[in-house]
Amino acid sequence: MSVAQDIGQAGGGIGLLDRERTIAKPGFNRWLVPPAALCIHLCIGMAYGFSVFWLPLSQAIGITKPVACAADVGLIGSLFTTACDWKVADLGWMYTLFFVLLGSSAAIWGGWLERVGPRKAAFVSTLCWCGGLMISALGVYWHQLWMLWLGSGVIGGIGLGLGYISPVSTLVKWFPDRRGMATGMAIMGFGGGAMIGSPLADMLMNYFKTPASVGVWQTFVAMAAIYFVFMMAGTFGYRIPPANWRPEGWTPPATQNAMITSGHVHLQNAHKTPQFWLIWSVLTLNVSAGIGVLGMASPMLQEIFAGSLIGKPEIGFAALDAGQKTQIATIAAAFVGLLSLFNIAGRFFWASLSDKLGRKLTYATFFGLGILLYALSPWAAHAGSLALFVAFFCIILSMYGGGFATVPAYLADMFGTQFVGAIHGRLLTAWSTAGIIGPVVVNYIREAQINAGVPRAQVYDRTMYILAGMLVLGFLCNLLVRPVAAKWFMKDAEVAALQKRSASVDGAAHYGSYGIGKGGFDGTAMLAWAVVGLPIAWGVWITLSKSLALFR
């Protein structure tokens, strides 16, 4: 018996989590769906902020300072030892597991999600993400690193994948008039999860900290409980429109854009088209460049500007004393926070703008502007212009986030909306690939430059030019994207058979609004938006207040 059947049965044998139970009824307001998606994404987005736990966990036994392991305790030994503290490098593998499992689980279970609907997928995501945090809490309590890897890394990573793609096809169908804006609203939440979760985790760890505990396992339990409430609210807030639903008063443009199809490509055929692999390459190259910089943003700013950050431009990085390095590390942390804020804002801004510009032109802008900014960043660094350097990378990171948020709409334009969630899931393997390419390029070139004796202020020059070259390749891939050939589209009868489970309220095949989607920002919608909007506003305020340190 399925989870849905265990939870309960509705009339006619339809379970509480089944797709048929989520079909909207007359009077439903479509503006309630984006807050439901944000409830999921703001919680799972904490994966970006898990590094806030690394330092406390690295001294979970020693409390005030780490208890070093014996020389013969390697990585495998550290998974099971209870006699010494974990290394930050060993904890960092969880970050790798998050995004490898996100991409692979989205690819594996994307088709299942399309069959069962977003509510059941979000329910499983909630169990995996919150359950993973609880297993991690036990891992910290018993000091078993393998439990953290399994709990948050593997099980939580599966929850990330299902939670990430669960709203995509739903929102695209609810907002055919503004596809980019709709997916941008939800995927913005994933970028914003760490902006809220990191300071919350810091506050909770300080609250639970005692002379005998660093407060991490208690924080995991508390956050699992908070996230469970929010994610369940999002899960049961999901609705899907009936087949052939359209917003009242909206009709597709009379002049059809050649880059926006009116047909549907089956999941089994999408990866056989050149368009899928071109867009896969577009996302891989855009994300590789951005994620490489994001991972090294703090040391990059410190090494390039060094003493200039504290009003002493004559002091290079190597000449800084311990106190000065602490000062500039604080300023660099503000830089990372500012980049994160632009990463979030860019997801909504660029995805919404793509509704006007078109997806292909939006990506052309990402690459064209990105090439220019990457190529000019060494000049800004050598000129000593901190403001220009920061501005360049804020724009770059806005386009990094914008790439994530715009790609679901790009896929819907190319392949139709019937399987867009599952196709998006398969495309997210590009994220897993970029998570390897980007950091490797940035980190290894930096090491090679340092070993070659290049001054710290110049070790990133060659990296920036290589990243600009990657964006040139991305620009060319995007340029080659053309409409999908007619042979790949499903026949009308096949589409009708698939849509039968989401039939319109009167069972007819005609298009219409059926009294669904009305209301705009009525009282209920405003309350739903306040539930997600207030935590976002708090996170933005915290981030901006810290970012002021950059320009004091």
* 115 vs 253, residue with greater confidence: 115
Q: Identify whether the C-beta of residue 509 lies closer than 8 Å to the C-beta of residue 15.
A: no
Residue-wise pLDDT for 43-72, tens only, equals: 999 998 888 888 889 889 988 888 888 877
Residue 3 has pLDDT above 70, yes or no: no
Name, in order, each residue with C-beta under 8 angstroms of 423's C-beta and a sequence gap of 6 or more: 110, 265, 267, 270, 276, 411, 415
CB atoms near residue 337 (< 10 Å):
23
The residue with greater pLDDT, 447 or 206, is 206
Q: How far apart are CA 14 and CA 373, in angstroms?
A: 54
> What does the alpha-carbon distance between residue 56 and residue 65 come to, in Å, rounded to a whole number?
9
Q: Token pair of 306, please?
A: 């060094």
Give mean pLDDT, residues 505-533.
Answer: 79
Nearest 5°: the CA angle 435, 433, 355 is 85
Contact 275, 481 (CB under 8 A): yes
Interval 230-246 mean pLDDT: 92
In which region does residue 520 sit, left (phi positive, over 0), alpha (psi from -120 to 50) or beta (all else)? left
- Report whether 509 contacts 307 (CB < 8 A): no
- Average of pLDDT values for 319-344? 84
Distance CA 494, CA 499 (A): 9
pLDDT at 506 (0 to 100): 47
263-322 pLDDT per residue, tens: 899 999 999 999 999 999 999 999 998 887 877 787 888 888 888 888 888 888 888 888
Quick one: CA torsion of 344, 349, 350, 352, rounded to 10 degrees? 130
Taking the C-alpha atoms of residue 87 and residue 242, their distance in angstroms, rounded to an integer, is 52
pLDDT tops 80 at residue 234: yes
User: Which of 198, 247, 175 is CA-nearest to residue 417?
Assistant: 175
Tens-place pLDDT, residues 102-120: 989 999 999 999 889 999 9
CA distances from 261 to 182, 281, 414, 489, 551 (A): 18, 21, 6, 10, 48
Question: Is residue 183 scored above 80 in pLDDT?
Answer: yes
pTM above 0.75, yes or no: yes
H or E element, residue 339: helix 322-357
The pLDDT assigned to 65 comes to 84
Helix, strand, coil shares of the chain, percent, nearest 5, are: 75, 0, 25
Q: Is the predicted pLDDT of residue 325 greater than 90, yes or no?
A: no
With beta carbons less than 8 A apart as the criterion, state whether 185 and 348 touch.
yes
pLDDT band at 208 (very low <50, low <70, confident <90, very high): very high
Per-residue pLDDT for 399 more than 70? yes
C-alpha dist (Å) from residue 329 to 66, 332, 393: 21, 5, 18
pLDDT band at 91 (very low <50, low <70, confident <90, very high): confident
Write down the number of H helices and E strands in the chain: 22, 0
Burial class (CB in 10 A: 0-12, 13-18, 19+), 259: middle
pLDDT at 552 over 80: no
More confident position, 266 or 552: 266
Q: Which residue has the higher pLDDT, 337 or 482?
A: 482
- Rounded to an integer, the average pLDDT of 484-497 is 89
From the list 166, 15, 31, the residue with the least C-alpha distance to 102 is 166
Query: In this structure, how many other beta carbons lie within 10 angstroms of the beta carbon of residue 62?
Result: 13
DSSP letter at 9 equals B
**162 closest CA partner among 188, 130, 184:** 130
